[in-house]
Amino acid sequence: MFTTKKLTALATVLALGVIVLGAFVRLTDAGLGCPDWPGCYGHLGVPDHAAEVAAANNAFPDRPVEAHKAWNEMIHRYFAGVLVLLSLLIAYVTWRRRALQRVDSNIALGGVALIFAQAIMGMLTVIWLVNPLIVTGHLVLGLSTAALFWALHIRQHRFHSVTTGSGLRLITLVGLIVLVCQILLGGWTSTNYAALACTDFPTCHGSYWPDMDAKEAFTLWRGLGVDYEGGVLENRARVTIHFAHRIGAIVAAVVLLLVAIVTMKNGGTAQRRVAALLKLLLVTQIALGIVNIVGKLPLGVAVAHNGVAALLLLTLVTLNYMAWSSQTRAAATD
């Protein structure tokens, strides 16, 4: 039997999988592994026969077939396609029960809208040659989709010993906002190929305040017709983006630690457990970030850094839901 709780749990896991696969695609420079959309060189899979490869190379002479990159991209698209179907199923199930769960139905419809918006951004990522603003937006929509399905999932649970209050609500909301800003900085760092702009730590090029160019670094739109693969910024601009992400990491770490401390002190049993998880994820994320710098962006660590960011987001969504709920919600009738 399809239940909202099971479907939304599956959708959240699948959305996280799409996010992690998207990071893997980006970090392996496979964003243009298939130069067309939604197929790959006009195929539903990757061309592998000699005649197909020759035809593909002839059709896209500037993007000859690199099978490993093409498969990275297509697997990501397959997972995203399954998520689209699952989101439609969730919307249908909640719509059937809208008389009792109208809010859930609206949230599910919002999930469908996010999924299709993300698909459009995925198409534009290819058409506009991995434009940083589009790729960052694609990441944000992916994280928003995971967060929305997770919010729909936790609405199905009965939380015991949950404490609300203006102070707790405010700090958890601030924590969520700060984390979102830091994720945006992380996405901008990745999509502008600035992750290796500084490879020493805690300094950057031997300085605690390196030479930077903020205007160039945070020019969001540079027009169409530019191939952004590999990045187009000069070193000073990339250093600026990287360094801003480091500063953001410090601010986020302090704020999220404060969220955990306040919740542990004032929250109920369920909230304290989530706060403990928040602290664990925060320490893990900081460690992964440092290893990314000193290890010169090892692929597995860099992908994990994206995954833990997504888990931090879901943890903050959970704490906000608990703090802002005026009463414990009963589990939905499935």
**pLDDT tens column, 157-205:** 777 667 777 889 999 999 999 999 999 999 999 999 999 999 999 999 9
pLDDT value at residue 263 = 95
Q: Where are the domains of the chain?
A: 1-156, 160-334
Tens-place pLDDT, residues 267-308: 888 999 999 999 999 999 999 999 999 999 999 999 999 999
192 — alpha (psi -120 to 50), left (phi > 0) or beta?
Answer: alpha
pTM: 0.93
Here the tokens at position 34 are 């298939």
Q: Which long-range contacts (CB under 8 A, 24 or more apart) does 138-141 make?
A: 138/22, 139/19, 139/22, 139/183, 139/187, 139/190, 139/191, 140/183, 140/184, 140/187, 141/114, 141/117
Residue, of 334 and 180, whose pLDDT is higher: 180
Quickly list DSSP for 251-310: HHHHHHHHHHHHHHHHS-HHHHHHHHHHHHHHHHHHHHHHHHHHTT--HHHHHHHHHHHH
Nearest residue to 292 via CA among 196, 209, 190, 187: 196
For the chain, the residue count is 334
Q: Which H/E stretch holds residue 151?
A: helix 132-154
CA–CA dist 57, 317 (Å, integer): 46
Let me know: does 184 contact 140? Beta carbons within 8 Å.
yes
Identify the active-site residue in 52, 66, 73, 216: 73
Closest CA to 280 of 255, 265, 260, 310: 260
Kindly report whether the peptide bond that precedes residue 202 is cis, defined as omega within 30 degrees of 0. Answer: yes
| 234 annotated active-site | no
pLDDT over 90 for what percent of the chain? 84
Give the pLDDT confidence score for residue 328 in this predicted structure.
42
- As a whole number of angstroms, the distance between CA 106 and CA 223 comes to 36
The pLDDT score that the predictor gives to residue 161 is 65
Note whether 21 and 76 are within 8 A (CB): yes
Tokens 């205007």 belong to residue: 215
pLDDT digits (tens, 9 = 90+) for 114-171: 999 999 999 999 999 999 999 999 999 999 999 999 999 998 877 766 777 788 999 9
At 334, the pLDDT band (50, 70, 90 cuts) reads very low
Which residues have a Cβ under 8 Å from the Cβ of 62 and sit 6 or more positions away?
35
Question: Which string of b and e fits 203-224 if b means at least 16 CB within 10 Å?
Answer: ebeeeeebebbeeebeeeeeee
Is the bond into 35 cis (omega within 30 degrees of 0)?
no
CB atoms within 10 A of CB 297: 15
